[in-house]
Amino acid sequence: MDAVSTAWSVFTTCYSVYTVVSEVIELNSDSKLWNVQMRVERVRFEVWGRTLGFLDEKTGSLKSLDSEDVAMNSGGLSEIVQVEMANKLICDLLEAIALALKEFQETAEKYSLEKKSPGAAAVSNSRREKAAAGLSKAWSSTKVFTKHVVYVLADKGLVEQLVQKLSGLNDSLEKVLTLHQKVQYAKAVSSGVLVKYRQPKEIDSLLEALEDGERATTQPGILVASARVKQLCVRMDSPDGAGSDAGEVKAAEPGSFKLAPNIVRGYRVPVKAKEDLHWPVGIATYTTGAEPARRVMVEWRSAHPSTPRFLIEQSELVRRRDAIAQLLHKTSTMADAGDYRLLDCLGYVETTGGSDGQDTNVVGFVSLFPDWADEEGEPVTLHSLLQSSFDSDKTGTIPSLRTRFSLARDVANALYQLQCSNWVHRNLSSHQVVFFRDKNSGALRLERPYLIGFQYSRPDDNTRGQALNVFSEGFSHNGDFPELYLPAEFSGAGLRRYKRSDDVYSMGVMLFEIAFWEPVGVFHEKGQSVWDTARKVLDTAATELPSEVGELYADAVLRCLRGLRQGEVAMVTAAEPEGGKEAYDGAYHGEDPEFGLEVDFLWKVLREIEKCRV
């Protein structure tokens, strides 16, 4: 048996039993701690296999041993197994994992499936039987374990020992990865784990397990940060704004982030012309009297709903202003959350601005400049750079391909972080990406983009388990100035809810702009429908992007524009519905039809862009 076949055989054995054992523990364990940590170790193992090519990168399914991809996967399995010592190390580690699982099985054989430990949560017989059947089938098929085994996890020490062994072995497998692969690995573990935990108490248990000082498994900083942000999001979007436990983060009270007029001064009255789609971004002076005055950025927007079909009460808009300011502030100042690319929001001011020659109420969100930025220089939006380059006859206005790839990675990674946290941006476009000048060199730092424009965005509340009665966030295109960053179906007569996948579509349009370094508006002709323009953008992406920026980048853009799943069977599915409800059937019944979208986005979009090289 050659090196590839040897490693492949051991991995498939581990993968099959790893999956079943973790499911049995989940169904039968009364310990949330070990339930969570077992899932973390399973995800780490799966991501490792996906990274090195044992599993299909885009779907996470086992590849066929006869597949050409197994032997030819660039930067993955083939490169490692060709190094004799590395191949032996991998096989030894995989065999150690198989042994740990086998020893766990042999020790647990003495327990009956029907026996329950005190206080254990009841699990339906059908689910237990299904788990037992799956366990027997997996062990039988691999010819490693006995066929007839039943579990009950009365001995928590049994699971504790297993998790500790698997954690150490996963640590060793991680050391085989290159530095670049380790960074990607940590990101993937984050979405793979978080997708399972969607309710406040579930995320509390996850954080407790990750932060258990004595028994914690490996803690990628990005996983802890993403879990904390998701915890903020789901708590702020819950009906009462927070849990009942002391010390839990509570949603900001309406008006709590409103800044007094004497604190934010020196800004120009915001004005939006008829032909402008967006309110301007400006600069002001911020002072509390207790600290030296600082220059701050102010992003202006209307105090009213953005379109007539944005059916949401004014009181809810006010609540969301404070919730968004709190989310931005806490996330931007959180350790290991830099990939969100957010500015530190201090609050908001209310004033009167001009729109189409008439006075109107406006809100300005106030944010600190990055420490390295020139506070006297006006922030520059990505859209303004694209438009000025398109309008200019000068050469050298288009950044290098290397710079554009780097920018695309950063903004796609920022959206990935939001997706992991169930945080909907809702207003994503090149108008909502800003850059600053370096205070020492004066150069515009294109390698440090920041996301703004979270005006009426919200945590994704599809996880409440309630049917949607009011379409509070319907949207319609403006006939004269269509919003080309949204799916064309928003131009129809009916209302529909804004979803996380709509942010993905918006990202596709923005990646399209970065590739050509042109604003998408130049593809829209007078009298043309939104549908016509959307088709033109899609056709151009399919025919011209491969030669412009390469097939990997083009594939990432097309995935966003066409839909991440494109008719594929999703490898990640939601938990078994309660109350006998059927799985998602195209109509909203309270479940999340986009379960696992962040996992798809990582492997099908962000990974493709990360592979782009000059």
Residues 6+ apart with CB under 8 A from 320: 456, 457, 458
pLDDT band at 427 (very low <50, low <70, confident <90, very high): confident
Same domain, 412 and 319: no
Q: Which of 204, 236, 268 delimits the end of a domain?
A: 236
**Could you tell me the CATH number of the domain that includes residue 507?**
1.10.510.10
Compute the distance between CA of residue 182 and CA of residue 48 in angstroms, rounded to an integer.
9
d(CA 499, CA 422): 10
Q: For position 276, which CATH number holds?
A: 3.30.200.20
Note whether 352 and 427 are same-domain residues: no
Task: Give me the CATH number covering residue 224.
Answer: 1.20.120.1020
Separation CA 474–CA 307 (nearest Å): 9
Q: What does the pLDDT average to over 146-163? A: 58
Please tell me whether residues 565 and 595 are part of one structural domain: yes
Q: Measure the CA–CA gap between 206 and 151, rounded to whole angstroms.
A: 24
Please report whether residue 426 resides in a domain: yes
In a domain, 246, yes or no: no
pLDDT for 562-590, tens place per residue? 998 765 433 333 333 334 434 333 333 44
The answer to whether 507 and 410 are in contact (CB under 8 A) is: no
The secondary structure of residue 521, as a DSSP letter, is G
Q: Does residue 119 carry a pLDDT above 50?
A: no
Residue 147 confidence (pLDDT) above 60 = no
Domain assignment of residue 40, yes or no = yes
Are 133 and 195 members of one domain? yes
- The pLDDT value recorded for residue 202 is 86
Instruction: Report the phi/psi class of residue 178: left, alpha or beta, with left for phi > 0 and alpha for psi in -120 to 50.
Output: beta
Q: Which domain holds residue 82?
A: 3-236
Q: What number is the average pLDDT over the span 233-262?
A: 70
pLDDT at 318 over 90: no
Least confident residue range of 115-129, 186-200, 486-500, 591-605: 115-129
For residues 314 and 378, membership in a common domain is answered with no
Which of 65-69, 118-122, 234-238 is the least confident region?
118-122
pLDDT, position 594: 81
Is 498 part of any domain? yes
**Of 195, 211, 236, which marks where a domain is finished?**
236
Pair 282, 197 in one domain: no
Same domain assignment for residues 226 and 348: no
For residue 403, what pLDDT is reported? 97
Mean pLDDT of 469-475: 46
Same domain, 445 and 565: yes
Q: Identify which has the larger pLDDT, 130 or 64.
A: 64
Asked if residue 116 has pLDDT above 60, the reply is no
Is the confidence at residue 469, as pLDDT, over 80?
A: no
List, for residues 187-230, the tens digit of each pLDDT value. Answer: 999 999 999 888 888 898 888 888 765 444 445 688 999 999 99
Q: What is the mean pLDDT of the chain?
A: 79
Gap between the Cα atoms of 446 and 436, Å rounded: 8
Which of 203-212, 396-405, 481-490, 538-547 comes out lowest in average pLDDT?
481-490
Does the pLDDT of residue 112 top 60, yes or no?
Answer: no
3-state secondary structure of 286: strand
**483 pLDDT higher than 80:** no
Domain tally, the chain: 3
Q: DSSP secondary-structure letter at 584?
A: P
Domain boundary among 319, 340, 368: 368
Residue 529 lies in a domain: yes
Whether the per-residue pLDDT at 471 is higher than 50: the answer is no
Verify that 306 and 325 share a domain, yes or no. yes
- In this model, does residue 476 exceed pLDDT 70? no
What pLDDT is recorded for position 456?
A: 62
Least confident of 4-18, 92-106, 490-504: 490-504
Whether residue 247 lies inside any domain: the answer is no
Residue scoring higher pLDDT (415 or 474): 415
Quick: pLDDT tens for 322-354.
Answer: 989 999 999 999 999 999 999 999 999 999 988
Residue 275 scores a pLDDT above 80: no
Same domain (yes/no): 401, 421: yes
Residues 157 and 295 grouped into a single domain: no
In a domain, 169, yes or no: yes
Summarised one tens digit per residue, pLDDT across range 276-313 is 778 899 999 999 888 889 999 999 988 876 665 566 67
- Whether 106 and 126 map to the same domain: the answer is yes
Does any domain span residue 243? no
What is the Cα–Cα distance from 42 to 45, expressed in whole angstroms? 5
